[in-house]
Amino acid sequence: MSDKLWAGRFSKETDKEVDAFNSSISFDKKMVYEDIAGSIAHARMLGKQSIISETDSKEIIDGLEIIWQALKNKELKIDDEAEDIHMFIEAELTRRIGDAGKKLHTARSRNDQVATDLRLHLNSCCLFINLLLSELIKALCDISENHTETIMPGYTHLQRAQPITFAHHLMAYAQMFVRDKERLGDAVKRMMSECPLGSGALAGTTFPIDREATAKELGFLKPCANSLDGVSDRDFCVEIAGALSLIMVHLSRFSEEIILWCSWEFKFIELDDAYATGSSIMPQKKNPDVAELVRGKSARVFGDLQTLLTVMKGLPLAYNKDMQEDKEAIFDAVDTVCLCLRTFTLMLKTMTVNKENMRVAAAKGFINATDCADYLVGKGMAFRDAYKITGELVARCVKYNTDLENLPIEKYKQESELFGGDIYEALNLETCVAKRSSYGGSAPEQVRKQTEMVRERLEQWKKQ
């Protein structure tokens, strides 16, 4: 007859197809060490509370530690035929230590077990993602420090708008990744504040368990206050997937710019040969595949977030098997973000910056027109009037196929007597950038300050 735990209640074996359909071991085996850690904490608590004997408790803990080692040393393989990782570990324990193993599941259920394992697992995944984010932010600070004077056009509507520096542009992304890191940290903090272990199947347990003890041992702040909630929400997965989605939004926008910047139309940067690919037919091609793939992979992560939201939205309390679908989605989001962050950072670190082309692009497109208007404001004119006059000057330049820097002073004077010879200095792109010294502006000293502040943040995180 069936070797299923629940065989007593059933008169038939489960159909093989249903077994395969139900099984989650192929993906929840990722949580094996968290499952063992959760079981160790539970067994220790059961012993301390005299729910099982101290001897049984010790035997279980020793047995679980041996299984842990065996897995680490690759002496034990996870059985892909098992239903899930929780069943596998319990069965393996009982196979090794006999009767004591059968007592491990006292006062718990797979429902509180899986809710705990998943939190623990995501906690370590997010620690790793945080390290990758730190590396990316550090790389951005390193590159920026060499480019606080590298002038490039800043864009709005992808039209040249005002002069900025390459460092200013890169540090904008650094700020986004700083927020991403803190956002992920907030989600993790909330996730780890309440431990679901001890919620049982849904209603708690008749045994005198000590939920404070297991929560503390596993690194949570306290036990969750409602057992139904403990086993049935996956809001922490949604929050993490949301934070991961935003990382991908930022990486994807950045990728788009990298792709533009290495095109012949821009040629602001050149990717290292090791981080670009060729074409099978066009011998001249050097393609930014890494950036394109990162942009493309953002779709997967948004899809994962959507999956999690949709899985949860109509579920009655408490646990439903639908929730087993949470893991593949959130694991895929985690894996994708890790992969993208790693490769993207390496690509950035090895790219070459083509300062000259940026400077050439900045010289075209009247990106100092605002500075021309600001010059008149400096001489006492109202901004709207100054704006109108500058517009007319730009129109003249377009007509004579010249630019503001080369327009003769008489033409300026025809528009306003306030113009003097110092207008040319005011239009100089270096001056334009240096004068944007408002907090957070393009001026080299402002951007330097920004990189210093971001570096300090990186140091603070290390101490946390």
Give contact residues for ligand ARG (rule: CB under 6 A).
Answer: 24, 28, 84, 110-111, 114, 319, 321, 323-324
Q: How many CB atoms lie within 10 A of CB 122?
A: 25
Contact yes or no for 428/410 (Cβ under 8 A): no
Cα gap 52→285, rounded to integer Å = 69
Half-sphere exposure of 238 (CA within 13 A, CB side): 12
Extract the runs of DSSP E, i.e. beta strands, from 166-287.
Answer: 194-195, 222-223, 269-270
Place of tokens 């010249």: 402
Nearer to ligand ARG, 13 or 186 (CB): 13
Q: Tell me the C-alpha distance between 326 and 312, whole Å.
A: 9
User: Shortest gap between Cβ of 278 and ligand ARG (angstroms)?
Assistant: 44
Q: Check if 157 is active-site.
A: yes
Burial of 300 (0-12, 13-18, 19+ CB in 10 A): middle
Q: Are 202 and 111 a contacting pair, CB within 8 Å?
A: yes
Please pick, among 124, 193, 263, 279, the residue that the annotation labels catalytic.
279
* Active-site position among 11, 157, 280, 438: 157
By CB neighbour count within 10 A (0-12 exposed, 13-18 middle, 19+ buried), where does 315 fall?
middle
Q: Counting Cβ atoms within 10 Å, is residue 285 exposed (0-12), middle (13-18) or buried (19+)?
A: exposed
**Kind and range of the H or E element at 1?**
none
How far is residue 322's CA from residue 277's CA, in Å, rounded to a whole number?
A: 41
| CA–CA gap between residue 302 and residue 34 (Å, rounded) | 26
In contact, 383 and 371? CB cutoff 8 Å: no
Give the span between the Cα atoms of 160 and 367, in whole angstroms: 6
Q: Which is nearer to ligand ARG, 118 or 454 (CB)?
A: 118
Q: Which is nearer to ligand ARG, 110 or 160 (CB)?
A: 110
Strand pairing of 159-165 and 151-156? antiparallel
Closer to ligand ARG by Cβ: residue 49 or 320: 320
Just list the catalytic residues: 157, 279
